[in-house]
Structure 1
Amino acid sequence: MTYCVAMCLADGLVFASDSRTNAGVDHIATFKKLHVFHQEGERVLVLQSAGNLATTQSVISLLSARIRTQQEPNLMQVTSLYDAAMLIGKTLLEVIQRDSSNQQTCSNTNFNCNLLLGGQIAGETHRLFHIYPEGNFIEATRDTPYFQIGESKYGKPIIDRVLTIDTPLEQAMCCALISIDSTLRSNLSVGLPLDTLLYRSGSFSAGQHRITDSDPYFNRIRKAWSEGLLHTFQTLPTWTPAEREEE
């Protein structure tokens, strides 16, 4: 399984993904789930994936090949994030339909995957989309400025409590990492290392950062969060059963 989270905020975008895949306890591996398509000074497209690994790799390979061979349309030619989401959705559906053509002989195989696409193309603001296996998609809004895919339930509460459209990017990244840490503690199918990217609107810079189990900042905030939760819990009023009224 996996967990990816992306946030679309006033100042830019935040992305964080784990890197664990598993097909049972004897088949655990590390695969990157955050991919960047970058044209200096003109566009940054970030793609995160959760679901069938073969489907994901095929989609990334097709998108990359179409750029390399200058096939039209491709991600370096589209003029908006919406058009990029359309192209990726069509490519995803193409791969799923191709690979599921043998579904009759592989009835238990699930070829689906979900994708998060965020970034910016010159001439428009930064945007974030959730692309579904069917090829359709939705866009993040001011009221719902983030998306999750994969094992989302464990890391959702912290985001809902602290994140707003005006949250500074650095604080949002901290929130994303705590969200992933909560998932790491509750689900063994999600694991380190983590891949992160903080994108400041208008910068067209795509610097990535990989977080391992020895990362000092990650270890400091996960320790502080755990200790803070425990301290707050211990200071809550003690539950006292109400006295039963005399009959």
Structure 2
Amino acid sequence: MTYCVGMMLDKGLVLMSDTRTNSGVDNISTFRKMFYWTVPGERIVALMTAGNLATTQAVISRLQERSETPANRSNALLEAPTMFQMAVETGRLLRETIQTSQTSNGPLGEGRFTASIILAGQIKGMAPRLFMIYPEGNFIEASLDTPFFQIGETKYGRPIILRGYDHGMSFEDAVKLLMVSFDSTLKANLSVGMPLDLLVIGRDSFAPLHERRIEIDDPYFEGISSTWGAALKAAVLSLAPYTFDD
């Protein structure tokens, strides 16, 4: 399993993903699930993936293969006129990859190769955009009503973001909020694990404003985890007392 979050702010975009994959409790590995490409001064696009690892790696490999081809060949992500067209092309590749895998594996392949993707980025002259792409290849776009997307193991970290998110918050506060969301998920589900990958994209910067891998012994993340736990306990104790008396 995995956990990825893409968040849209007034200032830009914040993305975070874990790196754990597992096929049972005795087969756990670390794989990157966040990828990005840039054309300096013109565009930046990032992807986060969740689901069947073979499927997501195939999609990313096809995209990277295009980005590394000679100049006389096209690259859908780096040459698409809009972020919408990037979402269309990524959805098409995802759908085709899933269909091919399921067909080649017959009945055993049904339902085994599903995956989903978060696409985020900005093209010069346009606003930053955030999409969630489904296994069928269709997608939805973030808005003021739905300003963030999650894929993978979403239920444990979602309440944290719902209560703490504000579109006008700073990048630094957004990173803290995501760290708390991931800490809650890590505590509740062993299929999500560190290290974590973080990417911050400033509006109109077309390059990463901040990127970092948060390792398992990262002192700042450990401090966030322990401080949040203590604050949560204190908050519960500070609530109005409950009594068994009538």
- In the TM superposition, 1:37-56 aligns within 5 A as 37-56=37-56
Residue of structure 2 equivalent to 1:27 = 27
Contact 2:103–2:109 (Cα < 8 Å) also in 1: no
**Corresponding residue SS for 1:192:** coil
Deviations 1:60-115 (A, max 9, x none): 01111122225435211111111110110001011011111034352565111010
Residue of structure 1 equivalent to 2:18 = 18
Amino acid in the other structure paired with 1:115: I
Bigger Rg over Cα: 1
Distance 1:184 1:38 in 2: 31
**Corresponding residue SS for 1:106:** helix
**Corresponding residue SS for 1:165:** coil
**Corresponding residue SS for 2:6:** strand
- In the TM superposition, 1:196-207 aligns within 5 A as 196-206=198-208, 207=210
Distance 2:107 2:136 in 1: 22
TM-score between the two structures when normalised by the length of structure 1: 0.94
- In the TM superposition, 1:27-106 aligns within 5 A as 27-69=27-69, 71-72=73-74, 74-106=76-108
State which drifts further: 231-240 or 46-55: 231-240
TM-score between the two structures when normalised by the length of structure 2: 0.95
Superposition CA RMSD, Å: 1.4
Residue of structure 2 equivalent to 1:211 = 214
Contact 2:58–2:97 (Cα < 8 Å) also in 1: yes
- In the TM superposition, 1:1-247 aligns within 5 A as 1-69=1-69, 71-72=73-74, 74-107=76-109, 110-206=112-208, 207-243=210-246
Distance 1:16 1:192 in 2: 11
Amino acid in the other structure paired with 1:12: G
State which drifts further: 38-47 or 185-194: 38-47
**Corresponding residue SS for 2:102:** helix
Distance 2:145 2:219 in 1: 33
Identity fraction in percent: 45
**Corresponding residue SS for 2:190:** coil
Question: Alignment length, in residue pairs?
Answer: 243
Structure 1 residue runs of 4 or more that deviate by more than 6 Å after TM superposition: none
Distance 1:127 1:107 in 2: 33
Contact 1:143–1:165 (Cα < 8 Å) also in 2: no
Distance 2:68 2:207 in 1: 21
**Corresponding residue SS for 1:209:** strand
Amino acid in the other structure paired with 2:214: I
